[in-house]
Amino acid sequence: MPVHNVDIAAKLDEVADLLEIEGANPFRIRAYRNAARTLRDLNRDVPTMLESGEALTELPGIGKDLAAKIQDIVATGTTGVLEEHRKALPPTLTELLKIPGLGPKRVKALYRALGIQRLQGLHQAAKEGRLRTLPGFGEKLERHILHELEARAGSEGRFKLAVAAQYVDSLVAYLKTSPGVKQIVVAGSYRRAKETVGDLDILVTASSGSPVMDRFVSYGEVEEVLAKGNTRATVRLTCKLQVDLRVVTDKSYGAALQYFTGSKAHNIVLRQLAQQQGLKINEYGVFREDRYLAGKTEESVYAAVGLPWIQPELRENRGEFEAAQAGRLPALVELSDLRGDLHAHTKATDGRNSLKEMALAARNRGFEYLAICDHSKRLAMTHGLDPKRLTEQMDEIDRLNATLSGLTLLKGIEVDILEDGSLDLPDEVLSRLDLVVAAVHSHFDLSRDKQTKRILRAMDRPYFTILAHPSGRLIQEREPYDVDLPRIIRKARERQCALELNAHPERLDLTDTYCQVAKEEGVLVSINSDAHSILDLDNLRFGVGQARRGWLEKTDVLNTRPLNALRPLLQRTM
């Protein structure tokens, strides 16, 4: 059975979680966390690397000991240290750590005092008012836990887009080797680049007699075959992701692709438009009574009702039909449009690569510039930069730029927005930078009014370029803080500063709908990787997918500009 990077990372994270609950050495815990993140973000398959004899110790944050444990997981599905700690504590306890407010000490207290091992037991105890009786909990925390559990209920069974991508890529590669397969595409919410995916719809065209259906249900990761026919099969993978495979004819390929890409709301409007013209659209084609008119391509389906082709990311019934009819569909931004990245970290704080390594990796990707924005001193846990260390880093960037060709490193900082709206470093220091990326990293529980005013005050500072990950959310892990984002966006227009679309798959923040609002207000969005290693630079593709869902065009994105056009925009805000 194939083992994916995300599966290995999950095992390493579980070790870290159990160590944390046991109160182990923080440096040991961090080593497992860093290794898990490295593998999760890696754009290469670890089992393939091992087969080819490549050393895992070449990867950032992975030494000989961790490399050996990773090899164990690839070979057996587990490793000795994990099984050892599973015997000491129920492994399901790690689920509880995902609830904000529940640190390792509280999770251990829940287990010791109330026997709680799973989220279901935690939910029941919170509803019954039993949590507030424990030392260090109280009624307020109990209400917060209950709220978080209920908020998470709607996302159960869904996979983050980047996680689903790992399972999709290997499955599609496997199916492509089937004799007779001609076309294969993943439709549904995956093709529309939604943040999370509930299941997968795969469409295939194949010659008569192709064994693709039998190969599909025989795939090594299939846990259960839910249905199988001549043209459709449904399976559940061991990771619990449900996958439908449909074999369609060449004649119906475009119609099926349009139909199964969705969204449901988009398809309803499209069918209504067809009905108004005496036509019928389904997964087999476009028909007038029983006469087939179109369906071989998606373009032919839309053309049959008088529309241009609508990009998959726009198909949410949020104005795309009106734009299509008026000839105003956006020319959506492409990954190749990005000229650089305006938010990356180094090992000076919590990154895993040096300045030079980050610069060379960015240049290898064809970037013209890369902004180094390590954390400011407020984030002590990341070894944030104080004025002295930031000044030293600026000098180091100057020296490196003098030797680099083809790429310019920009001097920046990810500076904390403090509770009162001030910034974590003095203006005297910030004024020496090329850009200032400001972020909220604390006090997420402020009221809507206080949180909004806090950010507005920060945006009024003279050296403020980009608001990082504006809502503070972590997908399926942390709800956004309560803030008036339309008001923030209007302030950004007034101040002529930018908003970040953080491309890390756990953030994708701004959301697609607020990208649209920013576009309508004329506020530039910067698609940034927030890279903490050279591997993270590849996350920009997920940010571009989110930007496309938000109707953003090349001109709406700050970092599509060449450096000579970018610099005046950065200075205008400072």
The per-residue pLDDT for range 228-238, each reduced to its tens digit, is: 998 999 999 99
Percentage of the chain exceeding pLDDT 70: 98
In 3D space, the residue among 474, 473, 476, 471 whose CA is nearest the CA of residue 499 turns out to be 471
In contact, 365 and 338? CB cutoff 8 Å: no
Residue 311 has pLDDT above 70, yes or no: yes
Give per-residue burial for 273-307: e unless 16+ CB within 10 Å, then b: bbeeeebebebbbbbeeeeeebbbebebbbebbeb
pLDDT digits (tens, 9 = 90+) for 94-152: 888 888 778 888 888 898 889 988 888 998 998 889 998 888 888 888 888 888 887 77
Res 154: pLDDT: 60
Residue 155 has pLDDT above 70, yes or no: no
Q: What is the mean pLDDT of residues 339-354?
A: 95
Residue extents of the structural domains in the chain: 5-153, 159-247, 252-325, 335-572
Q: Among all chains, which residue has been given the structure tokens 């249900």? A: 217
In contact, 59 and 38? CB cutoff 8 Å: yes
In contact, 471 and 483? CB cutoff 8 Å: yes
CATH fold match for the domains 5-153 and 335-572: no
Amino acid at 481: Y
Res 571: pLDDT: 85
Res 156: pLDDT: 64
Top-tier CATH class for 335-572 = alpha beta
Res 20: pLDDT: 87
Backbone angles phi, psi at 288, to 5 degrees: -110, 110
The CATH number of the structural domain formed by 252-325 is 3.30.210.10
Residue 1 has pLDDT above 70, yes or no: no
> Which pTM does this prediction carry?
0.86
Band of pLDDT at residue 270, cut at 50, 70 and 90: very high
Q: Which CATH architecture has domain 159-247?
A: 2-Layer Sandwich (3.30)
Q: Among all chains, which residue has been given the structure tokens 């200075």? A: 571
Residue 341 has pLDDT above 70, yes or no: yes
pLDDT digits (tens, 9 = 90+) for 355-375: 999 999 999 999 999 999 999
Q: What is the mean pLDDT of residues 4-10?
A: 91
Res 573: pLDDT: 64
Question: Three-state DSSP class for 501?
Answer: strand
In 3D space, the residue among 8, 131, 126 whose CA is nearest the CA of residue 72 turns out to be 8
For residue 282 the two structure tokens come to: 């389904």
Cα torsion at 308, 311, 314, 317 (round to 10°)? 40
Res 430: pLDDT: 96
pLDDT digits (tens, 9 = 90+) for 157-169: 789 999 999 999 9
pLDDT digits (tens, 9 = 90+) for 474-532: 998 888 999 999 999 999 999 999 999 999 999 999 999 999 999 999 999 999 999 99
Q: How far, in whole angstroms, is CA 265 from its chain's centroid?
A: 24
Backbone angles phi, psi at 483, to 5 degrees: -145, 150
Backbone angles phi, psi at 84, to 5 degrees: -60, -45
Residue 96 CB contacts under 8 Å (≥ 6 apart), including other chains:
102, 107, 110, 116, 118, 119, 122
Residue 328 has pLDDT above 90, yes or no: yes
Backbone angles phi, psi at 169, to 5 degrees: -60, -45
In contact, 341 and 528? CB cutoff 8 Å: yes
The beta-strand segments (E) located in 27-106 are: none
Rounded to a whole number of angstroms, the distance between the first and last alpha carbons of the chain is 54
For residue 258 the two structure tokens come to: 């349009």
Which superfamily is assigned to 5-153 in CATH?
DNA polymerase beta, N-terminal domain-like (1.10.150.110)
For residue 211 the two structure tokens come to: 């064994």
Percentage of the chain exceeding pLDDT 90: 75
Question: What does the chain come to in residues?
Answer: 574
Least confident of 19-28, 174-183, 388-397, 417-426: 19-28
Q: What is the mean pLDDT of residues 206-226?
A: 94
Band of pLDDT at residue 257, cut at 50, 70 and 90: very high
Res 153: pLDDT: 67
Distance, CA of 479 to CA of 335 (rounded, Å)? 28
Name the average pLDDT for the chain: 93
Distance, CA of 182 to CA of 206 (rounded, Å)? 5
Res 423: pLDDT: 96
Which is more confidently placed, 42 or 255? 255
Distance, CA of 143 to CA of 147 (rounded, Å)? 6
